[in-house]
Amino acid sequence: MTRGEPARDALDAIDEAVARISDAEVDRHLAKILRQGGFRGSSVPFTEAPLRLKGSPGGHGPARLTRLGGWAAPLAAAAAVVLVVICAAAGSWLFRSLSSHPGDSGAPAQGTPAVSFTGAPAGPYAGVPAYYVEIANPSLAVVRATATGATLARIATRTPFAGVTGGADDRTFVLDAQRSIMGPAVRWPGHPAFYLLRLSSSGAEESFTRLNIAAPPDGAAVAGMALSPDSSKLAVALDTGTPGAPGLLEIRVYTLATGTFRTWSAHGLADSQAPEGFTGSGVDASESISWAADSRTLAFDVMNQNFTRGVRLLDTAASGSDLIADSRLAVTERDQGGREALTSKDHVSQCVTNSIISADGSAIVCGYTTDIAGRDTTTGFIRYSASTGKQTAVLGVHEFKGQAGGDISLYWVNSTGNILIGGVLTPGGIRVGVINGEKFTPLPGITHLGAAAW
Amino acid sequence: MALSADRAAPEGFEDFFRSAWRELIKHAMVVGATRDEAEDAASQTMLEMLRRWPVQPHPLGYARRAVVSNYIKARTRGDQRIAQRLIERGHVPHQEGAEDSRLTASEDDEWAAGVLSLLPPAQREVMERITQGHSRDETLAVLGKSSETVRRNLCDARVRLRQLLHPDGELKQPASATARSREDAR
């Protein structure tokens, strides 16, 4: 398209170009993606797609060189070589502490209840919950042992599971189930339903019952869910929007013993602080809202219309129902001008996962991904002080040589925010493991991981 | 981690891929990608989703946002390489290059939001919806404006955004390596 071209022509040209994509071409791309992901197609023959010579339509390197300008060609070509090399190169996990603050050393705060895990694994997995629940597919949730990856229980459902969250006792989990309809936009007909899963000390299914709590509105989608550490309350972030009419953020906190609930919501689009229904990506399988150990302080991610992003803390025991006015901004990850709150030598800029507050309330942790001087890619986890909002540590940095996709997920943090369970997408596939300071210990038996809770 | 090609694709992924591929190509192209760039971004998006499938709760909405993000990442990596090259060739003093840490922050959609802030309000309004994962029809419905107005704003925004993301003219204006400073210079 050239400048000055009538607007209709440009979009029509796109529509026409897309309409020319044949089913066979789509299948070739699908086959290629499946192969790259280590899967075989169920109905697509695994024949190699026609080889595209460099510089041909749809090719990679030379097209980029053209866009970069001829003088940049050697550099970009070198970068392309690096991209190839990193497919076989392993990254390295490093630990980099920023200026530490008193009280952020990882020591539990006084008066903070210790979280113990009966039967918790020892060795490299010491200090992390013994079990986790993974939504293996929409029809099946699986209980696994953290240290071995062994399957301990399977919970099947006819209404698809959508999310899962766990209490601090490593025995109590809540799953939500709701049908979705794929179309131009995803719709969520009906009401989300919540189920309480209790495990025995050996990780076997002890009970699985539907929670008797008021259902969210018809068509609402659960954008985030967090079971309080004492398993007495369930916080649910709801997206009540419909296709074409995005809803505002609403958080409900259910008291499970009584079924009663309180609601906090944003004002509306006229409010510059209104998060417009955003609670983190909600799709990276991470926790999107999280509780401190007091089971009253709830942390949630917000991004307002100025694209300021941060983490707010809501005292659910205090009065009020305004999600913004009745909460306080604890961490600003990115300000209105698009600048990061603190730039380290690694150019750590912002969180790309949802954030989790540590049980002692002292730290807020999230995952990030960025580049070092445009040459190397790093992914890792940032720890912020919940009291000062400052970064206090960059944990478990995974460093790639060259630029690589840096997808990252954060599933769990310990009581002080210095031991994490997270996942990083590397050129060789997803790596999920325990990050304890400078050490990354992969969790066995995980080849891909969607929604999961420890 | 060893990946075995003997594993069947996760349930539902292939159907999603077939139903969403064209939409992702179109979505990236609306933002300004060429067909090649759109395929690259869509492939990257689908691979990421495959590795964490099932992506919930809004796979298509996620995919639309991700394909825009991946497209911008690819382009801004070019910016970063150019900025580094300018430093290496002495066109830009090292200190100025150091200030280009904003370029390194361009890996994310937040930076894209910053770029969008350089668009005129009407164009930004439309393009923000697109980058947030709304389809063109959804954007039309949300904004409540005439189809023709939205289309024109979207098309103009596409051209403008492509200029902002394209490193044209950096040798003429070596001190203006960031998108914002390039815009200010105009």
What is the per-residue pLDDT across A19-50, written as a single tens digit (0 to 9) for each?
A: 889 888 898 889 888 887 777 765 443 332 32
For residue A236, what are the β-bridge partners?
A225, A252
Average pLDDT over residues A282-292: 60
Residue A374 to residue B113, Cβ atoms within 8 A: no
Residue B143 counted as domain residue: yes
pLDDT of the residue at B79: 41
Query: What is the distance in angstroms between the Cα of B5 and the nearest Cα belonging to chain A?
Result: 4
Work out the pLDDT band at B94, boundaries 50, 70, 90.
Answer: very low
Q: Name which residue leads in pLDDT, A148 or A116.
A: A148
In a domain, B3, yes or no: no
List of residues 6+ apart from B12 with CB closer than 8 A: A137, A138, B53, B54
Is B53 within 8 Å of A188 when comparing Cβ atoms? no
Task: Please indicate, yes or no, if residue B4 is contained in any of the structural domains.
Answer: no
Residues A419, B166: Cα–Cα separation, whole Å: 41
Task: For A350-361, write each residue's pLDDT tens digit.
Answer: 566 678 899 899
pTM for the predicted model, two decimal places: 0.55
pLDDT in the model for residue B55: 79
Provide, as residue numbers in chain A, all residues whose Cβ is less than 8 Å from the Cβ of B50.
Answer: 33-34, 37, 39, 448
Residue B179 domain-assigned (yes or no): yes
Q: Is residue B6 domain-resident?
A: no
CA distance B107 to A348: 11
Helical ranges in chain B per DSSP H: 13-31, 35-51, 59-88, 94-99, 101-104, 109-116, 121-131, 136-143, 147-165, 179-185
Interchain proximity B56–A36, CB inside 8 Å:
no
Nearest to B7 among A39, A222, A409 (CB): A39
- Comparing alpha-carbon positions, the chain B residue that sits nearest to A42 is B8
pLDDT digits (tens, 9 = 90+) for A382-392: 888 999 988 88
For residues A114-122, average pLDDT: 43
Please, which residues have CB within 8 angstroms of residue B133's CB and are 6 or more apart in sequence? Answer: B58, B60, B61, B62, B63, B64, B65, B68
The answer to whether residue B84 sits within a structural domain is yes
Q: Chain B partners of A407 at a C-beta cutoff of 8 Å?
A: 48, 51-52
Q: Is residue B125 part of a domain?
A: yes
Q: What is the pLDDT of residue B185?
A: 30
Which is more confident, B175 or A380? A380
Contact B26, A11 (CB under 8 A): no
* Three-state secondary-structure class, residue A81: helix
User: Total domain count for chain B?
Assistant: 1
* pLDDT value at residue A373: 59
- Closest-CA distance, A35 to chain B, in angstroms, reads 7
| Other Cβ atoms closer than 10 A to B5 | 13
Helix (H), strand (E), coil (C) string for A331-385: EEEECCCCCECCCCCCCCCCCCCCCEECCCCCEEEEEEEEEECCCEEEEEEEEEE
Residue A12: pLDDT over 70: yes
Q: Which residues of A touch B77 (CB under 8 A)?
A: 79, 371, 374, 403
How many whole angstroms separate alpha carbon A77 and alpha carbon A68? Answer: 11
DSSP A57: T
Domain containing residue B93? 13-185
Q: Is B18 on the interface with A (CB under 8 A)?
A: yes
CB spacing of A371 vs B80 below 8 angstroms = yes
Does residue B5 form part of some domain? no
Mean pLDDT over residues B52-56, rounded?
80
For chain A, which domains are there? 60-89 (no CATH), 92-453 (2.120.10.30)
Q: What's the number of CA atoms in the CB half-sphere (13 Å) around residue A48? A: 3
Give the distance from residue B125's alpha carbon to the nearest chain A alpha carbon, in angstroms: 11
Chain A nearest CA to B182, separation (Å)? 16
**At how many degrees (to 10) do helices B59-88 and A61-68 cross?**
60
Placement of tokens 């730039």 in the chain: A343
